[in-house]
Amino acid sequence: MSTAEFVVVANRLPVDRGADGEWNRSPGGLVAALEPVMQRADGAWVGWAGQPDLDIEPFEFDGMLLVPVPLSAEDIELYYEGMSNDTFWPLYHDVISPPRYRRVWWEAYVAVNRRFAEAAATAVSDGGTVWVQDYQLQLVPQMLRELRPDLTIGYFHHIPFPAYGLYSQLPWRRQVLEGLMGADVIGFQRVADAGNFTRSIRRLFHYETRASGISVPQADGTTRVALAKAFPISIDADAYIELAQRPDVQARALEIRESLGNPKKILLGVDRLDYTKGIRHRMKAFGELLQDGRINVEDVTLVQVASPSRERVDAYMQLRDEIELTVGRINGDYDTMGHTAIRYLHQGYPREEMVALYLAADVMLVTALRDGMNLVAKEYVAARIDNRGTLVLSEFAGAADELGMALRINPHDIGALKNTIMRAIEMPGAEQGRRMRALRRKVIENDVDAWSRSFLSALASVRSRRTDAKGT
């Protein structure tokens, strides 16, 4: 197999296999962000193809080499559903749902991380760069460094990193930090996440940590500097703008409004069906506004897109039951023949349809209890080429650090959430415009291309410092 100078390692490959056996590009933004880099460097992407026991040879797709890492049904159960999504996911989202600590899951996590590290080590050329993505692969940086000391290694953590008081619950807390410290640059969404990470390093390892990096002692008695820093991720804003300008997408937005009975105001929630997203809190507030008579179904409809996610994990099954019970109750109490309170859609949609929905929605509700970034908030803003619409944004989403002109909320404070939803519904056009213009400037300036460029340039500067140190 030929090798690549630049390799991305992520749990998932950037493609899905359709029912016809054809590969299609997945909708995620990461592949769009990395595409230019991948093309320039003849890049490779190492990841799981999304189905059990699919053992296929590396193949070319859109100018990238895709290197599948097969996962058996048991790997999926222990490494993906267990350790990744029933331990790390809830622990790193401030234990909103109780994390489970199971030794068999951990053992599978170590073994699968090793397979990803080995696959990356085989795919990358001498002195090349590997960029590891997210919490499913936290041990890969150090494993790779041991296999291939010649590499420059980056890691980006897409989800929050919790405070030490919570992180310290993890029985394998030292091993995970050691795994991450194998990277030259460890990127986080928020300054607070990077701070939580370095504080954990100080507490558990007593290493020296400065703005310029963490001094990690090496086996040979020297130290290596690892940089832990915030690089807030973004979206391909231009792609959303182009879609929003398309006449067919705009016509679809009108059609959506009409099919909902032309309510005066449409509220919108778009999430993976996940307990971190605060969907229940949003529905509680909305249901109470109907009950209080502050809104009625003729005038206001909530559209909730909840895309299916991790459906075999207990906490997700329970959440689905609770949400669907709540939707049924609220609709049963308030629907009329012509109007519905909540139009609930347990489905995923293509990007065109999402942009049409964004254009149709007067108020976007992002009420996450904890969220690494929340790209939906940024997508809504990018799509509003008319400078209208209001974003209600949880302070617990990473996006709140950049999107200061949104209406900020604490989703646990239902009273305040209700008042903020009313304020958003009633916001005059001029104020919508003032806020939306400022929000759009932010998202357009710091798009996903700027994100990957700033991460990769931090990585390149670590590499040149290392080469200098060797040369002298």
**How far apart (Å, rounded) are the C-alpha atoms in residues 442 and 405?**
10
> Could you give the CA distance from residue 305 to residue 268 in angstroms, rounded to a whole number?
8
- Least CB distance to ligand G6P at residue 236 (A): 16
Contact residue for ligand G6P among 3, 122, 296, 309 (CB under 6 A) = 309
Among 93, 115, 145, 158, the residue binding ligand G6P under the rule CB under 6 A is: 158
Closest listed residue to residue 78, CA positions, set 104, 115, 111: 104
Beta strands in 300-439 (DSSP E): 300-307, 342-345, 363-366, 390-394, 407-409
Residues 25 to 84: which contact ligand G6P by CB under 6 A?
none
Between 11 and 432, name the residue whose CB sits nearer to ligand G6P. 11
Q: Which is nearer to ligand G6P, 362 or 379 (CB)?
A: 379
Nearer to ligand G6P, 362 or 371 (CB): 371
Number of residues that bind ligand G6P (CB under 6 A): 6
Report d(CA 154, CA 171) in Å as an integer: 25
Q: Which of 12, 93, 384, 435 binds ligand G6P (CB under 6 A)?
A: 12
The pairing of beta strand 342-345 with beta strand 59-61: unpaired
Q: How far, CA to CA in Å, does 218 sit from each of 75, 117, 149, 206?
A: 32, 20, 12, 14
- Nearest distance, CB of residue 445 and ligand G6P, angstroms: 23
Q: What's the CA gap between 219 and 226, in Å, rounded?
A: 15
Residue 360 host element (H or E) = helix 351-360
CB of 377 to ligand G6P, least distance (A): 14
120 vs 405, which CB is nearer to ligand G6P?
120
Q: Closest separation between CB of residue 181 and ligand G6P, Å? A: 20
Q: What's the min distance (Å) between Cβ of 127 and ligand G6P?
A: 28
Angle between helices 140-147 and 103-123 (to 10 degrees): 50
Q: Shortest approach of ligand G6P to residue 135 CB, angstroms? A: 7
CA distances 262 to 211, 256, 338, Å, are 53, 9, 10
Nearer to ligand G6P, 310 or 378 (CB): 310
Which CB sits closer to ligand G6P, 310 or 384?
A: 310
Closest to ligand G6P by CB, 296 or 309: 309
Nearest approach, Cβ of 310 to ligand G6P (angstroms)? Answer: 5
Q: Rank residues 17 and 466 by Cβ distance to ligand G6P and give the closer one.
A: 17
Say what the alpha-carbon torsion angle 137, 139, 142, 146 is, to the nearest 10 degrees: -100
User: Measured at CB, which residue is nearest to ligand G6P?
Assistant: 158
Kindly state the smallest distance separating residue 219's Cβ from ligand G6P, in Å.
Answer: 31
Asked if 114 and 144 count as a contact pair (C-beta separation under 8 A), the reply is: no
Side-chain-side CA neighbours of 298 within 13 Å: the count stands at 1
**Interacting positions 118-137 with ligand G6P (CB under 6 A):** 134
Instruction: Of 183, 250, 185, 247, give the one whose Cα is nearest residue 212.
Output: 185
What's the helix, strand, coil split of the chain in %, to 5? 50, 20, 30
Name which of 136 and 301 has its Cβ closer to ligand G6P.
136
Touching ligand G6P, residues 247-306 (CB under 6 A) = none
- Tell me the C-alpha distance between 379 and 234, whole Å: 9
Backbone angles phi, psi at 190, to 5 degrees: -120, 155
Report the C-alpha gap between 187 and 198 in whole angstroms: 12
Binding mask 418-447 for ligand G6P (x = CB under 6 A): ------------------------------
Instruction: By CB under 6 A, name the one of 148, 252, 310, 378 that touches ligand G6P.
Output: 310
Nearest approach, Cβ of residue 158 and ligand G6P (Å): 4
| 12 vs 440, beta carbon nearer ligand G6P | 12
Q: How far is the CB of 9 from ligand G6P (least distance, A)?
A: 12
Task: Determine, following the binding rule CB under 6 A, whether residue 463 of this chain makes contact with ligand G6P.
Answer: no
Amino acid at 402: E
Q: Which of 38, 64, 159, 266 binds ligand G6P (CB under 6 A)?
A: 159
Helix (H, G, I), strand (E, B) or coil at 267: strand
Residues at the contact surface with ligand G6P, assessed by CB under 6 A: 12, 134, 158-159, 309-310
